[in-house]
């Protein structure tokens, strides 16, 4: 009888240990994404608000991860020409690295994406002074812009995540309590559909965008100079040597800014006899899109001959800022130990034109009480 009891107890212990081990394995599977990210590395508290990592998937096996710290896209796993999943955006594998160095990797940018001259805006005769964090100008909403804020998660499932943020009156100098909603949806045609909404209780300006750094080769150690770029634009907005738009809208015809025919990014990027490329140390400019706000019209494409992955961009915005990672300098070590060096990524930021509030002839960025700001950007992936 004692022997049977001992055997029963031993068997119970074995079953219990086996069960615990099995549950631990299941937990590890749940907590680790296809891109190798561990969700617990994104779970912390910043300024009293909790952060996490949210995983979107579709029927094709594509995966997108998003953190509510900065409303950031952290990873985008898409199939290459051989059917292998590749992560095509830059970023970090934990929250601490995102906090350690001021960066815009994958972030939702606001209240005003891009630059505002001398950090000043004038709204109905009232001048507002904003933080000057880039050559005397305000860049991407200032140093405490949305990329450094924790968004509230209104909804999250396998297909979409809905983020909200209340930008209070006077935050970074901007007027009005701005209630922002950002919806990121992964569709079954391998597109990330980003929709922005905002309402205000006071006249203000709004220009929200996403600042993902794309490397379509799937290896962020690689240059993007061989990638092929198309921009559906007959003109662009030139800048001065402080990266501020001059107010001119110039034709791309006959210049290195002409990407109406797909062209390798590196083909003309170092043509510093052309002043605009010298100013930007490459491409860091806003193109005036031919799409007239029609989100069904193709705005831009990037294609990696190495992976076969193509990115198409659609938007209802009048412009797209194309930045070729000219100021990445190898100091940031990202996911998979990749060294983020010069021109190892391209950004395509759909937007109002830079400094629009100070250039009244350009499409307005104003938002009034009772109106709703709506902006949309679609990043669609395929194999060419």
Instruction: Tell the residue number behind the tokens 């509030």, with chain if given.
Output: 357
In the chain the first and final C-alpha atoms are separated, in Å, by: 72
Question: So which residues are the catalytic ones?
Answer: 211, 349
CA dist 369 → 53, 176, 204, 252 (Å): 33, 9, 9, 38
3-state helix, strand, coil split of the chain in percent (to 5) is 15, 40, 45
Q: What is the 3-state secondary structure (H, E, C) of 84-131?
A: CEEECECCCCCHHHHHHCCCCCCEEECCECCEEHHHEEEECCEEEECC
**Beta strand 373-383 pairing with 309-315:** antiparallel
For residue 160, the cross-strand partners are 185
E strand or H helix at 319, and its extent?
strand 319-323
Query: What is the number of H-type helices and E-type strands within the chain?
Result: 3, 28
Q: How far is CA 96 from CA 93, 133, 340, in A?
A: 9, 23, 17
Three-state secondary structure along 356-376? Answer: HHHCCCCCCCEECCCCCEEEE
Take residue 248 and report the two structure tokens written for it.
């001119």
Whether residue 74 contacts residue 67, with contact meaning beta carbons closer than 8 Å, is answered with: yes
Strand 366-367 versus strand 204-205 pairing type: antiparallel
Provide the pairing of β-strand 160-167 with 178-186.
Answer: antiparallel
Q: Kindly state the helix (H) or strand (E) to which residue 27 belongs, with its residue range.
A: helix 2-31
């Amino acid at each position: 009888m004692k022997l049977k009891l001992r055997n029963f107890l031993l068997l119970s212990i074995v079953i219990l240990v086996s069960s615990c081990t099995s549950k631990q394995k299941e937990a590890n599977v749940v907590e680790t994404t296809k891109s190798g990210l561990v969700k617990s590395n994104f779970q912390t508290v910043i300024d009293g608000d909790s952060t996490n990592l949210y995983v979107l998937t579709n029927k094709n096996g594509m995966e997108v991860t998003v953190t509510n710290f900065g409303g950031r896209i952290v990873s985008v796993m898409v199939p290459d020409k051989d059917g292998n999943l590749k992560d095509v955006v830059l970023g970090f594998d934990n929250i601490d690295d995102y906090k350690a160095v001021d960066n815009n990797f994958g972030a939702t940018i606001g209240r005003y994406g891009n630059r505002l001259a001398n950090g000043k805006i004038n709204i109905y005769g009232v001048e507002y002074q904003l933080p000057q964090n880039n050559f005397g100008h305000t860049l991407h909403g200032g140093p405490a812009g949305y990329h450094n804020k924790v968004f509230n998660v209104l909804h999250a499932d396998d297909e979409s995540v809905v983020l909200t943020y209340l930008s209070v009156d006077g935050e970074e100098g901007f007027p009005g309590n701005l209630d922002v909603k950002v919806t990121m949806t992964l569709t079954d045609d391998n597109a990330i559909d980003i929709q922005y909404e905002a309402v205000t209780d006071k006249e203000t300006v709004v220009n929200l965008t996403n600042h993902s750094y794309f490397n379509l080769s799937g290896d962020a150690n690689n240059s993007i100079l061989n990638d092929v770029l198309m921009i559906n634009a007959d003109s662009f907005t030139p800048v001065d040597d402080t990266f501020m738009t001059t107010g001119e809208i110039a034709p791309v015809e006959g210049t290195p800014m002409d990407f109406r025919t797909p062209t390798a990014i590196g083909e003309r990027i170092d043509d510093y006899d052309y002043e605009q490329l010298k100013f930007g140390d490459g491409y860091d400019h806003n193109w005036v899109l031919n799409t007239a706000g029609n989100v069904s019209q193709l705005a831009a494409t990037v294609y990696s001959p190495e992976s076969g992955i193509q990115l198409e961009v659609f938007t209802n915005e009048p412009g797209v800022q194309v930045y070729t990672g000219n100021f990445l300098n190898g100091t940031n070590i990202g996911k998979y130990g990749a060294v983020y060096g010069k021109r190892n990524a391209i950004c395509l930021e759909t937007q109002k034109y830079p400094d629009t509030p100070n250039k009244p002839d350009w499409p307005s960025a104003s938002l009034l009480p009772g109106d709703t700001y709506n902006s949309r950007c679609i990043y669609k992936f395929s194999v060419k």
